[in-house]
Structure 1
Amino acid sequence: MKQGLSLRVSQHLALTPQLQQSIRLLQLSTLELSQEVEQMLGDNPFLELAADEALREEFGIAQADIPPPESEREEAAEGATEAADTDSLLADAVTDWEGDGSVELMPDDGEWGGEAPARRKEADGEDGADAIDLAGGHETLQDHLHRQALALRLAPEDQAALRVLIESLDEDGYLEDTLEELAAALAPDEPEQHEELVHRFTVALRLLQHLEPVGVGARSLAECLQLQLQALREEEGADAAACDAALAICRQSMDLLARRDVRRLAQLCRLSESEVKAGIALIVRLEPKPGRRFANVERNIVVPDVLVSSAGPGNPARLRVQLNPDVLPRLRVHDAYAGALKAHRGEGHHALQQRLQEARWFIKNIQQRFDTILRVSTAIVERQRNFFVHGELAMRPLVLREIADELGLHESTISRVTTAKYMATPLGTFELKYFFGSALGTETGGNASSTAVRALIRQLVAAEDTARPLSDSRISDMLKEQGIECARRTVAKYREALRIAPANLRKAL
Structure 2
Amino acid sequence: MGPQMRAEIRPSQTLSPRLQRAVQLLQMPSLDFAALVRQKLGENPFLEGEDESDAAVDPHETGPLDAREDEGEGPGSAAPEAANTVWDEGVRRDGADDRDLWMQDAVNGSRAASDGELSAMEMTASETTLAMHLHGQLNVMALTERDLCLARGVVESLDDDGYLRTPLEDIADVIPCEPPASAQDMLVALRLVQSLEPAGVAARGVGECLALQVRQMEDGPCRELAERIVNEHLDALAARDIPGLASVLRVPAARVEAVVDRIRHLDPRPGWRVGNSRIDYVVPDVIVRRQRGQWSVQLNPAVVPRVRLNQVYADLFQRHRSRQNGELGEQLQDARWTLRNVEQRFATILDVAQAIVQRQRHFLEFGPMAMKPLVLREIAEEVGVHESTVSRVTSNKHMATPLGVFELKYFFSRPMVSAAGNACSGTAIRGLIGDIIQAEDSTRPLSDAEITRQLSTQGLVVARRTVTKYRQLLRIEPVDKRRRHA
- What is the TM-score normalised by the length of structure 1? 0.76
- 1:370-393 superposed Cα distances (whole Å, 9 cap, x missing partner): 111111111111111111111111
Distance 2:151 2:11 in 1: 74
How many residue pairs align between the two structures?
Answer: 428
Unaligned stretches of 5+ in structure 2? 1-6, 76-122
SS in 2 for 1:216: coil
Aligned counterparts of 1:116 and 1:462: Cα–Cα separation in 2: 51
Question: Are 2:265 and 1:288 equivalent residues in the alignment?
Answer: no
Quote how far apart the aligned CAs of 1:413 are: 0.7
- CA shift for structure 1 position 17: 4.7
Between 283-292 and 303-312, the greater mean CA deviation after superposition? 283-292
Q: Which residue of 1 aligns with 2:66?
A: 114
Q: Which moved more, 1:350-359 or 1:367-376?
A: 350-359
Tell me the residue number matched to 2:142: 153
Which residue of structure 2 lines up, in the alignment, with residue 219 of structure 1? 204
State the match for 1:41 in structure 2.
Answer: 41
Alpha-carbon displacement from aligned partner over 1:433-469 (angstroms, at most 9, x marks no partner): 1111122221111122111222222222222211112
One-letter amino acid of the counterpart of residue 383, structure 1: R
* Bigger mean CA deviation after superposition, 341-350 or 395-404: 341-350
Does the C-alpha gap of structure 1 residues 264 and 378 become closer, same or farther in structure 2, counting only changes over 3 Å?
same
Aligned match of 1:303? 283
Counterpart in the other structure of 1:340: 316
Provide closer, same or farther for how the CA distance between residues 301 and 349 of structure 1 changes in structure 2, counting only shifts above 3 A. Answer: same
The equivalences for 1:310-459 within 5 A come to 310-312=290-292, 317-459=293-435
- Using the alignment, how far apart are the partners of 1:141 and 1:229 within structure 2? 21
Q: Determine the C-alpha separation between the residues in 1 that align with 2:255 and 2:238.
A: 17
Decide whether the 8 Å contact of 1:256 with 1:264 is kept in 2.
yes
Change (3 A) 1:412 1:156: farther
Look up the equivalent residue of 1:214 and give its one-letter code.
A
Between the aligned partners of 2:289 and 2:155, the Cα distance in structure 1 is: 47
Please list every run of 5 or more consecutive structure 1 residues that lacks an aligned counterpart in the other structure.
1-6, 57-92, 94-105, 122-133, 234-238
Task: Please list the CA deviations of residues 383-435 of structure 1 after superposition, one character each: whole Å capped at 9, or x if unmatched.
Answer: 11111111111111111111111111111111111111111112111111111
Distance 2:316 2:470 in 1: 63
Superposition pairs for residues 108-147 of structure 1, below 5 Å? Answer: 109=61, 111-114=63-66, 139-147=128-136
Q: Is the 8 A contact 2:62 2:300 kept in 1?
A: no
CA drift at 1:366: 0.8
1:157–1:200 CA contact under 8 A, matched in 2: no
* Cα shift readout 1:11-62 (whole Å, capped 9, x = no counterpart): 4434345433321211111232133113212321111112234448xxxxxx
Q: Does 1:210 align with 2:199?
A: no
**In structure 2, do the counterparts of structure 1 residues 110 and 444 end up closer, same or farther at CA, with 3 Å as the change threshold?**
closer
1:359 Cα shift?
A: 0.2
Task: Return the letter of the residue paired with 1:452.
Answer: A
Distance change in 2, residues 1:142/1:321 (3 Å): farther
CA distance in structure 2 between the partners assigned to 1:379 and 1:327 by the alignment? 20
CA contact (8 A) 2:420 2:459 kept: yes
The residue number in structure 2 matching 1:231 is: 216
Query: Closer, same or farther in 2 for the Cα pair 1:204/1:320, shift >3 Å?
Result: farther
SS in 1 for 2:400: strand
The residue type paired with residue 160 of structure 2 is E
TM-score, normalising length from structure 2? 0.79
Superposed CA offset, 1:282-331 (max 9, x none) = 3244333323444655342111111112225xxxx422211110111111
Please state whether the residue corresponding to 1:149 is helix, strand or coil.
Answer: helix
- Residue identity over aligned pairs, in percent, reads 43
Q: C-alpha separation between the residues in 2 aligned to 1:298 and 1:136?
A: 13
In structure 2, give the amino acid aligned to 1:112: P
The question of whether the paired residues in 1 share the 8 Å contact of 2:194 and 2:202 is answered with: yes
**2:475 aligned residue (499, 502, 508):** 499
Q: Structure 1 CA distance, aligned partners of 2:325 and 2:41?
A: 20
Match of 1:340, SS state, is helix
Q: Distance in 2 between matches of 1:371 and 1:163?
A: 58
Residue number in structure 2 paired with 1:29: 29
- Two-structure CA RMSD over aligned residues (Å): 3.2
Q: Does 1:482 align with 2:458?
A: yes
